[in-house]
Amino acid sequence: MTRGEHGISREDVSPNALKVMYRLNGAGFESYLVGGCVRDILMGHEPKDFDVATNATPEQIKGLFRNCRLIGRRFRLAHIVFGREVIEVATFRGHHSEEPEAKEVPKNKAVSKRDAHGQLVRDNVFGSIEEDAERRDFTFNAMYYSVADFTVKDFANGLEAIEKREVRLIGDPEVRYREDPVRMLRAVRFATKLSMRISDDTAAPIKQLASLLNNIPAARLFEETLKLFLSGQGEKTFLMLREYGLIAPLFPQLAPFIEDENSREMQFVRKVLQNTDERINNDQRVTPAFLYAALLWYPLEERAQIMQAESGLSAHDAFNLASTEVIAKQTQRIMIPKRFSTVIRDIWILQQRLPKRFGRRAFQLLTHPKFRAGYDFLLVRGQVEGGALLELAQWWTHFQHGEPGKQKKMLNDLRRQEGDGPKPRKRKRRPASRNTDA
């Protein structure tokens, strides 16, 4: 496509990405903007980042840029750092030659390697731009913009997919999912992000192959779930993941609780995701800890009840032990960094402490560093479950914003209503000292 046909201007492109392409071209290499940035510009969206593809090897790229670092094991990439912006540069990938058979392969020739499930575990195979396009995942990600002649090369009818609003894999879907099971998550993410549908042939194998996500490193799945749920389309994404059977491999403890569309657990998760989407779309801060605390709350409640019934532990001890167990099981599937797991625990513990409001406890809880997160969590629980839980959440809503006199009155009223609140301890009177002056 010529510039007149695609309408992409250099003004749409990051100046740092242009610098990278100009330097690669000046050194005699081919270079192109590729993937999501080209797709987003053609769709009228502002790209979040700009990726470049080239026929230069990672070592040749590093030789041209002092601000370059090489990353990756499965496939080597170059990250060229401009302050906070990172331009990712990838060498054109070639077709898999797999492990050498009878004929001898030179030591410097790269080969790919798959595991028993067909997943690529090594993929440093370089090739031509045509081969690279065939190796891309979705058709709308196989479009290449050249700053040398301002054309767009569309190798897989990506523009047609955009016009049809269709997410379609390049090649055989089952083979492509086996190569990298995360593509199933990406298909869902693109469908919700771009308001598209997943084509029938691309969607067909997902349920059958969902369990392959168990082979993905937990650290990588943490990054992928952030993209899924913190995009401003978290609720829609969650519902589509559920539709395609992708919740169980990500959150196995939650899956049994959301089989019923109308269950309180399902309504709770949806409400939290709705609130998260609203905050993100209003440019307000969110923390993954709150979302994970919600996704694991009902599994925690059930596990604590079982542990208390089976072992005779106190409610407090059972809750703490269950918290540790639930987080440990989840981190086997999705790594949760300690900076978030600590906050998850704080939110959960506050659910146990917020009902205890007598004396100075209410004022002490207001000073807790995670009070706001704990209160917000309680409020959503109350909105879903109603009853005494909602009354408790409403009490805290009024108390935290009340004047000191009003707060004192609320506590006095609460003591009278409850009738069984902690009574003030009676002071023991000291016996009167005897007068020894007789």
The pLDDT mean for the chain works out to 89
DSSP 419: S
Residue 102: the pLDDT is 33
- How sure is the predictor about 103, in pLDDT bands with cuts at 50, 70 and 90? very low
Residue 258: the pLDDT is 96
Comparing 6-20, 91-105, 137-151, the range with the smallest average pLDDT is 91-105
Residue 94: the pLDDT is 85
- How sure is the predictor about 116, in pLDDT bands with cuts at 50, 70 and 90? low
Distance CA 96, CA 113 (A): 8
Rounded to two decimals, the pTM is: 0.84
Residue pointed to by tokens 């109350």: 382
Percent of the chain with pLDDT over 70: 89
For residue 305, pLDDT beyond 60: yes
Question: What are the structure tokens assigned to 106, written together?
Answer: 């030179």
For residue 96, pLDDT beyond 90: no
Distance CA 145, CA 47 (A): 14
Mean pLDDT computed over 222-234? 95
Mean pLDDT computed over 9-23? 95
Contacts of 141 (CB under 8 A, 6+ apart): 34, 35, 36, 39, 158
- Per-position DSSP letters for 135-148, written without gaps between them: HSSBGGG-EEE-TT
Residue 425: the pLDDT is 56
Q: How many CA atoms lie within 13 A of 76 on its CB side?
A: 17
Domain ranges of the chain: 1-99+109-164
Q: What is the CA radius of gyration of the chain?
A: 29
For residue 338, the cross-strand partners are none
Q: How many residues does the chain have?
A: 438
Mean pLDDT computed over 208-218? 96
- How sure is the predictor about 100, in pLDDT bands with cuts at 50, 70 and 90? very low
Residue 58: the pLDDT is 94
Choose from 4-8, 70-74, 361-365 the range with maximum mean pLDDT.
Answer: 361-365
* Phi and psi, residue 251, nearest 5°: -130, 75
Distance CA 34, CA 31 (A): 9
Distance from first CA to last CA of the chain, Å, rounded?
117
- Per-position DSSP letters for 207-273, written without gaps between them: HHHGGGGGGS-HHHHHHHHHHHHSSS-HHHHHHHHHHTT-HHHH-TTTGGGGSSTTSHHHHHHHHHH
Mean pLDDT computed over 94-99? 62
Residue 312: the pLDDT is 86
Q: Which of 324, 318, 395, 317 is nearest to 362 (CA)?
A: 395
* 255-277 confidence digits (pLDDT tens): 999 999 999 999 999 999 999 99
Contact between 330 and 336 under an 8 Å Cβ cutoff? The reply is yes
Residue 97: the pLDDT is 55
For residue 54, pLDDT beyond 90: yes
Distance CA 293, CA 377 (A): 9
* Phi and psi, residue 278, nearest 5°: -65, -45
* 363-377 confidence digits (pLDDT tens): 999 999 999 999 999
For residue 438, pLDDT beyond 60: no
305: number of Cβ within 10 Å: 14
Distance CA 93, CA 8 (A): 25
CATH number of 1-99+109-164: 3.30.460.10
- How sure is the predictor about 108, in pLDDT bands with cuts at 50, 70 and 90? very low
For residue 106, pLDDT beyond 50: no
* 412-424 confidence digits (pLDDT tens): 998 888 765 455 5
The residues that are catalytic are 49, 51, 137
